[in-house]
Amino acid sequence: MQKVLITGANGFVGQSLVRLLLTKGYSVIALGKGPSRLSVTHPSLQYFSVDITHPFEAQQVISHEQPDCIVHCAAMTQVDDCELLEKEAHSMNVEATARLLLDAESHSRFFILLSTDFVFDGLQGMYTEEDSVNPVSWYGHTKMEAEAITETAEIPWAIIRTCLVYGEKVENGRNNLFTWLRENLEAQKPVKVVDDQWRTPTWVEDLAIGIELVIAKKAAGLWHISGEDQYTPYQMAVVAADHFGWDKSLIERVTADTFTQAGKRPARTGFNINKAKKELGFSPGSFLQNLQHLQG
């Protein structure tokens, strides 16, 4: 039974990945900050409360458990928070990654970093794994640094970039675009949604499947794992409102200039996922198909 350690296990992606790996027969070591918020219990699951910014807390677990693979999902991902708290973002996203990689090199055989479309400048869109990175925010910069560190690994490594992840939120977790829309529109509250930022939105369950494919195949290198459909958040909101019968008149179409935000967002990202489809057998559902799995 392969043993996989997941950082950020209490989070949105982490919880989805924990559930999937347990159903696939893996032994899972879940690291999260504070008490476990995992919605599953299982004989093959262990949870440890760990602050990954602490020099030794994660190391103690990793050296004792000797996982076959480490999947590093934990990160400070709020773009504006990263811009306003640069030192904290660097500590979490860069320095913690460097320490985890050292631990992986000593006690593990495969290291996977979860990264983001925000490593790109957004001038082109539909990026491939061969395209050059050029982040426009501090968040994107820290993830670019984390990628560069991962690429120096002395053990096999993979970097999985994803894009605008949506799905049912976890207990005590933050809203994502879908749950934020549902919360407001069901309460008959108007929302402003941008229509000048293009993405390939990713259902969280599809992302977990993509990560598991990389683990199972020990598929080293760079991978773009996202949906295939190109949408702006406004277009996503309209399609979701049509699907669930929400009042579309509450959705106001705006541009990024409408908001005063500390961190700049790239205008046009989204991924070409042909490599993942061809080499991993990755096959995400369409946005409309994935809405069938969500609660309206």
pLDDT for 262-295, tens place per residue?
999 999 999 999 999 999 999 999 999 999 999 8
CATH number of the domain bearing residue 154: 3.40.50.720
Please count the structural domains in the chain: 1
Asked, for residue 163, whether it belongs to a domain, the answer is yes
pLDDT at 296 over 80: no
191 lies in some domain: no
Residue 98 maps to a domain: yes
Per-residue pLDDT of 29-44, as tens digits, reads 999 999 999 999 999 9
- Per-residue DSSP letters for 258-284? GS--SS---SB--B--HHHHHHH---P
The Cα–Cα gap between 100 and 96 comes to 6
Domain annotation covers residue 185: no
Does 181 reside within a domain?
no
Please check whether residue 227 is in contact with residue 166, taking contact to mean a CB–CB distance below 8 angstroms: no
Q: What integer pLDDT is reported at residue 117 of this predicted model?
A: 98
Q: Is residue 65 part of a domain?
A: yes
- Domain of residue 69: give its range: 3-167+201-228+270-291
In a domain, 276, yes or no: yes
Rounded-to-integer distance, Cα 75 and Cα 104, Å: 17
Amino acid code (one letter) for 85: L
- What's this model's pTM, rounded to 2 decimal places? 0.98
Residue 35 within any structural domain of the chain: yes
225, 162 Cβ separation under 8 angstroms: yes
